[in-house]
């Protein structure tokens, strides 16, 4: 089975721009969660998607939005980028529902730098 | 509400010595608890998890952790440190369901001296 893959691995954006990060979930997984990890800190939960619907959100403003597609891959979109958005963005996939319970597998992350 | 506190942002041990990384949690509902490891410029790898079965949980690479409800703790231990254990370790909590919305601690960097 393939693991969780994220793209791109690194990117640099200018303050005020918009960015889209992508995540392909592990084969057979139906749930994708996104986390922001600022330098020297633990990951913070942004939101989760389950079967294409948002299934919980952390303390992030509406300019952070997401999508999940029928193949369970996902996008994280951030509008009006701020310098504090510079971080490692991690995607995790898992399987939920119908008595199934798997651990969350993480991708390698996308390093976003806002200048 | 749930939260995790990791005591000690840096822990330094000698190779072959006991590793002890501390984690205390707060949760208004029965928790799932996790330890993850992160190597430089990489994502997170699950070391072990507590999901209400045995309170002593064994994980990969010789690590184990014990869930102590009375102390609200889930400390990570390894009897003998190896140089390859040097990394950042994160404790995390989630609700006792399958959604895996993880709340992480701030992390502990483990340094292993030769």
Q: What is the pLDDT of residues B86-109, one digit of tens each?
A: 999 999 998 766 577 899 999 999
Of A4, A55, A109, nearest to B99 by CB-CB distance is A55
- Residue whose tokens read 């403003």: A61
Is some CB atom of chain B closer than 8 A to the CB atom of A44? yes
Residues B47 and B23 sit within 8 Å (Cβ to Cβ): no
A35 touches chain B (CB under 8 A): yes
Tokens in use for A28? 């057979």
Do B44 and A48 make contact, defined as CB atoms within 8 angstroms? Answer: no
Interface test mutation site (partner A, options B33, B39, B101, max chain A beta carbons within 10 A): B101
Q: What is the mean pLDDT of chain B?
A: 92
CA dist., res. A91 & res. A29, Å (int): 13
B62/A contact by beta carbon, under 8 A: no
Of B92, B98, B106, nearest to A101 by CB-CB distance is B98
Nearest to B34 by CA among A20, A111, A106: A106
Strands B64-68 and B73-78: antiparallel
What is the three-class DSSP state of A85? Answer: helix
Chain B: nearest CA to A12, how far in angstroms?
16
Cβ neighbours of B73 (radius 10 Å): 18
Among B44, B51, B105, select the one facing A90 at the smallest CB separation: B44
Contact call for B103 and A45, based on CB within 8 A: yes
CA B69, B28, A49, B40 dihedral sign is negative
- Helix then strand count (H, E) for chain A reads 0, 13
Which band of pLDDT confidence, cut at 50, 70 and 90, is reported for residue B54? confident
Predicted local confidence at residue A69, as pLDDT: 93
pLDDT tens string for chain A (115 positions)? 468 999 999 999 999 999 999 999 988 888 999 999 999 899 999 999 988 999 889 999 999 999 999 988 999 999 999 999 999 999 999 887 655 556 788 999 999 999 9
The CA-to-CA distance between both ends of chain B, in Å, stands at 41
Q: Does the CB of B59 have a partner CB in chain A at under 8 Å?
A: no
Judge whether A42 is closer than 8 Å to chain B, CB to CB.
yes
- Exposure b/e, A42-70, CB count within 10 A at least 16 = b: bbbbbbbbbeeeebeebeeeeebbbebee
């Amino acid at each position: 089975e393939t693991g969780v893959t994220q793209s791109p691995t690194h990117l640099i954006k200018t303050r005020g721009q918009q960015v889209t990060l992508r995540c392909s979930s592990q084969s057979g997984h139906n749930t994708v969660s996104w986390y922001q990890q600022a330098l020297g800190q633990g990951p913070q939960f942004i939101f989760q998607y389950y079967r294409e619907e948002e299934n919980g959100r952390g303390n992030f403003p509406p300019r952070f939005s997401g999508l999940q597609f029928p193949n369970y891959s996902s996008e994280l979109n951030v509008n009006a980028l701020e310098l504090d958005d510079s971080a490692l963005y991690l995607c995790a996939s898992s399987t939920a529902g119908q008595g199934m319970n798997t651990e969350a597998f993480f991708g390698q992350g996308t390093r976003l730098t806002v200048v | 509400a749930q939260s995790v506190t990791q005591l000690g942002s840096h822990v330094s041990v000698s190779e072959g010595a006991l590793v002890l990384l501390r984690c205390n949690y707060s949760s208004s509902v029965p928790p799932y608890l996790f330890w993850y490891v992160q190597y430089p410029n990489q994502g997170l790898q699950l070391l072990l998890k507590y999901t209400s079965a045995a309170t002593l949980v064994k994980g990969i690479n010789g690590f184990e952790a014990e869930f102590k409800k009375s102390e609200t703790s889930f400390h990570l231990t390894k009897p003998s440190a190896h140089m390859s254990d040097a990394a950042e370790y994160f404790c995390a909590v989630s609700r006792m369901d399958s959604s895996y919305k993880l709340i992480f601690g701030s992390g502990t960097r483990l340094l292993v001296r030769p």
